[in-house]
Amino acid sequence: MDDVIFCRKCGQKNDQNNHQCTQCSYLLHEPVRPAIIIQDDSTMGGLVPYKNASALLAYYLGIFALLPLLGIPFGIASLVFGIKGLKFAGKNPEAKGAIHAWVGIVLGAFCLVGHGAVFVALATMS
């Protein structure tokens, strides 16, 4: 015989599998939620933080900040996205990307200082 459960509100007889009463729709018990399956991320996806777009963007912007003339805007953007990516990685450790964010921050700052120094040197030579 199947297990039965009686509604606490109206007394209706219900199957154990029912989450709500068939007569009054009273919640009999919480539905069972399926387990979340976490896949192994040991492949190449573990090296590239595809779940943390800001950190990845900061990394690439930091690389592009090394280019002459374009270094200042790319450096600023690299700093902004690096900080956002670092905060996101702190709140969501499964997203990873803290290293990429730090590389973007360091490269962005380095390039801003370097390009700024070159512009100051060029301005004082004239």
| 81, part of any domain | yes
Q: Is 64 within a domain?
A: yes
Answer whether residue 43 is part of any domain. no
Structural domain includes residue 16: yes
| Structural domain boundaries, residue 117 | 50-125
What is the overall mean pLDDT for the chain? Answer: 86
Percent of the chain clearing pLDDT 70 (strictly above): 87
For residue 1, pLDDT over 60 is answered with no
- What is the predicted pLDDT for the residue at 16? 85
Q: What is the pLDDT of residues 40-85, one digit of tens each?
A: 555 555 677 778 999 999 999 999 999 988 889 999 999 999 999 9
Token digits for 94?
A: 């499964």
Distances (CA, A) of 75 to 6, 63, 68: 66, 9, 11
Q: What is the pLDDT of residue 70?
A: 85
**What backbone torsions phi and psi does residue 13 show, to the nearest 5 degrees?**
-80, 125
User: Domain count of the chain?
Assistant: 2
Range 113-116, long-range pairs (CB < 8 A, 24+ positions): 114/71, 115/68, 115/71, 115/72, 115/75, 116/72
